[in-house]
Chains A and B, each alone.
Chain A
Amino acid sequence: MKNNKRKSDFRWRKEITLLPSYIIGIIWAFFTIFMIGWIIAASLSSTKEVFTGNVLSTGLHFENYTKAFFRNKALMNLLNSVIYTVPSCILTIIVSAPAAYCLTRFKFKFNGLIKKSIITALGIPGIMIVMPLFSIVSTLKLSGTHLTLIFIYTATSVPYTTFFLMAFFQGISDVYEEAAAIDGCGPIQCFWRIMFPLAQPAIMTVTIFNFISRWNEYFMALIFANKSELRPVGVGLYQTVQSMMQSGDWAGMFASVVIVFMPTVIIYLFLSDKIVAGVTSGGVKG
């Protein structure tokens, strides 16, 4: 009994020393949630309600969304974003996974050099590479197609993805390959049949990161996909807000902002365990 009392006493003291931590956490979390919540509410209100501060007082105005989707082409922008991100996420894995496996498992002449190049490539800013790429694209007359950005997103994701997967393959014991080799399985077959499926968890994690960062990419998209039928969501949002500013359609602007952040936020909320674990395990994107 006595012991029990002391224990609960102790817990109280502990909670009090933790109070500052709770306070900063709660303030920041409240601010973030309120901000996002209000913007979602405003996107479903009329512009008049937004200005008078009574959001959602006359029911849900879905017409903000229909206007954004169709008149301001948000639907097409969403589709474009999917066209850019999904194929490039898949292609990145098809290129990077074998390379990562090969670099961790085989000894060959340029192994060290390639590893060093990957680390260097991680640090090269986008601005250093856009100009020559732009001239290649215009010489090849690829500027009116989706292919340009799919290619750029795939290629620029290769160093990070390879780097991330190398750490994973290093941690897998080579008994699987030895067994496969005894069964007469060649290295390539062995990789796709045995190692690739084994790497699924790491591939999933890195693909989530790639997807989110490609979805949110802005600079390359502005340069290589700034035509109305090619724009992804980010670039489309900039154009939409510029034109809605003029017409004063505030509810429409908030709806357009929500359309841009909703997909990644939903993915994040569902997969936050995986994402947070991925970030804290040291796989922070450079």
Chain B
Amino acid sequence: MKQTKRSIITFMLPAVVLMVVIFLYPTLRTIAMSLFKVKSVTTPLMDWKFVGFGNFFKLFKTPLFVRSMVNILKIWIYNGIATMVLSMLFALAFTKDIRFKKFFRTIVYLPNVIAAIAVGYMWLLYVYNSRFGLFTTMFAKLGLKYLADYQWLNSDHMFFSMCIANVFGNVGYFMMMFIAGIEKIPQDYFEAASLEGITGFQRFRHIIFPLTKGVLRTAIVLWTTRTMGFFALSQVFSGVNTYTPMLFTYQTLFGTEVASESVNAGMAAAAAVLMTVIVVIVSMILNHAIKDDNYEI
């Protein structure tokens, strides 16, 4: 018995210590820091000045932060809808009995193994380029003059362009989740339904959709977490229109290349806490709103 206890400690200790050092302590300290006036991350504890929710109020009075929140909300909604719809379409298409199924899945998932920063530059440097870009040459060949002349990297269009790149990068990931969900549905359901002469849409509406609701919920929770962490692309497509809370926090923490007087670690911590709280609330709402339809086999 004693030996078991000792081996449990040997098995668990490294993992527990690492988790305390990297998650528990930093999270608690960030929450604490959000309530204090702290100039820089390295400011020692005795120089922290308690301000209650002052940092949070200040955040909402900072136009750039408000702007970044509006941007991220737009990304969450519009890109979220586009990503979910496209992923579901691909998942439906690639769980059917088609040829080259594996090849299609592999290619659609491919952007997920490429660093976000590289995906961003592939779009910024090549696809959107106004002289030799893929879109310009492709639309010109197709005779779509408006689209061929469209300035994708014009500061008014930058946000939209970034969104397309973002959706492109995310579709494969959620497609895989939906494929996993669809393939878990017992085959009998489809067989019974096809005997009844069900159409493709009915098949989706009455079998697949209800039975993958749980997956959809998980997908939206993950989408929310991923969107809050949106960073690399907004650094590649830089501009006020593509500003996101992560970038705001990063710059409030370390200053920008041009100005360092804006550094305010307390406010950065408040932004981090706010972002985390939003993710938690959204997840909780989703867990209540979308209930699994239990099915017994």
List A residues at the B interface (Cβ < 8 Å).
14, 17-18, 20-22, 24-25, 28-29, 32-36, 38-39, 42, 50-53, 94-96, 98-99, 101-103, 106, 108, 114, 117-118, 121, 123-135, 138-139, 152, 154-156, 158-159, 162, 186-188, 191, 212, 215-216, 218-219, 222-223, 233-234, 237-238, 241, 250, 253-254, 257, 260-261, 264-265, 267-269, 272-273, 275-276, 279-282, 284, 286
Contact = CB atoms under 8 A, between A and B. Distances in A.
B36 to A, nearest CB: 12
B176 to A, nearest CB: 4
B38 to A, nearest CB: 9
A257 B121 contact: yes
B275 A286 contact: no
Contact of A286 (B30, B122, B225): B225
Interface stretch (B51-59, B60-68, B123-131): B123-131
Contact of B228 (A118, A125, A261, A265): A125
Given A126-B229, A154-B18, A218-B231, A102 B275 contact: no
B41 A53 contact: no
Q: Top 10 nearest A-B pairs by Cβ distance?
A: A21-B93, A102-B11, A99-B15, A155-B22, A129-B26, A216-B115, A132-B26, A132-B29, A187-B7, A98-B11
B222 interface: yes
A143 B33 CA distance: 22
Contacts of B137: 53
Given A261-B122, A284-B222, 17 more contacts: A25-B93, A32-B111, A38-B126, A51-B131, A125-B225, A125-B272, A131-B269, A139-B42, A159-B23, A260-B114, A260-B117, A261-B118, A264-B115, A265-B110, A275-B109, A276-B109, A281-B180
A85 B156 CA distance: 39
B97 A131 contact: no
A213 to B, nearest CB: 9
Contacts of A29: 103-104, 107-108
A186 B3 contact: yes
B29 to A, nearest CB: 4
A260 B114 CA distance: 8
Interface stretch (B71-79, B143-151, B246-254, B288-296): B246-254
Contact of A135 (B8, B15, B42, B131): B42
B126 A42 contact: yes
Contact of A188 (B5, B11, B265): B11
Interface string B238-271: 0000000010011001100000000001001101
B273 to A, nearest CB: 7
B117 A24 contact: no
A117 B97 contact: no
Nearest to A20: B93
B142 interface: no
A50 B27 CA distance: 48
Contacts of A281: 180
A84 to B, nearest CB: 13
B176 A280 contact: yes
Contact of B117 (A20, A187, A238): A238
Nearest to B107: A29
A261 B177 CA distance: 23
A101 B200 CA distance: 44
A162 to B, nearest CB: 6
A282 B179 CA distance: 10
Contact of B229 (A212, A216, A219, A276): A219
A188 B3 CA distance: 10
B202 interface: no
A131 B272 contact: yes
Given A24-B90, A39-B126, A42-B126, A156 B22 contact: yes
Nearest to A235: B117
Interface in B74-126: 89-90, 92-94, 96-98, 100, 102-111, 113-118, 121-122, 125-126
Nearest to A282: B180
B4 interface: yes
